[in-house]
Amino acid sequence: MAFRILVYTHTTEYRHDSIPDAVAAVRALGAAHGFEVDATEDPGAFESPLDGYAAVVFLSTSGEVLTPAGRERLTEYTRGGGGFVGVHAAACTEYDWPYYGELLGARFARHPDLQPGKAVVEDRDHPATGHLPAVWEFTDEWYDFRASPRGSVRVLAAADESSYQGGGMGEDHPLVWCHERGAGRVFYTALGHACEAYQDPAFRAHLLGAVRWAARAA
């Protein structure tokens, strides 16, 4: 099924060095799996209708990245059935806009140092996690959130805080989840800090499953 997605990487606060690798990885996935990718840093892209996109991906965005008109367009788009995928620092974005927090499901609070750890895959009945082992060993920043979104989202994977140093959420520490917002599908993964992540076949398949699910192509 052919479709088009918009990848947005605008930042006004911390900027991840991995963004070029991440965009290249998504473009490669699109080329290999039959979907088209438009990538932009321009907030003006959200001031026009988004109806031509099956999904919008906020890929390590940070800070306030949308104009008031862009916020209105994104709200209309997601409520009307558009897909949304947030990757990593997408949770550090639009803190002043309540709708965005509700859309994503949780807000970033802090993270320990980049280090190896383990994610427990709770739900493998999803295109983004079906290929993963029950315990996924990965290196990342293991984001903490201001509150657990469990109960309002479908949790797909959670952090095992005993596997790394500095976790601050305890036993209930979701990392990957999805839910529906209006008529749209929303997916978020906290993983994806390092450049190396976007070369990892398991992580690339994770992103592919997320995009295809949000775009209703899987």
Contact 84, 184 (CB under 8 A): yes
Identify the helix (H) or strand (E) that includes residue 19.
helix 19-33
Rounded Cα gap, residues 68 and 134, in angstroms: 42
**78-131 pLDDT tens trace:** 999 999 999 999 999 999 999 999 999 999 999 999 999 999 999 999 999 999
Residue position matching structure tokens 């082992």: 133
Residue position matching structure tokens 């994770």: 206
pLDDT at position 218:
83
Identify the helix (H) or strand (E) that includes residue 35.
strand 35-40
pLDDT at position 130:
98
The pLDDT confidence band at residue 182, using thresholds 50, 70 and 90, is: confident
**5-49 pLDDT tens trace:** 999 999 999 999 999 999 999 999 999 999 999 999 999 999 999
pLDDT at position 8:
98
- Chain centroid to CA 210: 8
Rounded Cα gap, residues 214 and 185, in angstroms: 5
pLDDT averaged over the chain?
97
- Nearest Cα neighbor of 95 from 169, 12, 31 is 12
The full 3-state SS of 122-177, as one line of letters, equals CCCCCCCCCCCCCEEEEEECCCEECCCCECCEEEEEEEEHHHCCCCCCCCCCEEEE
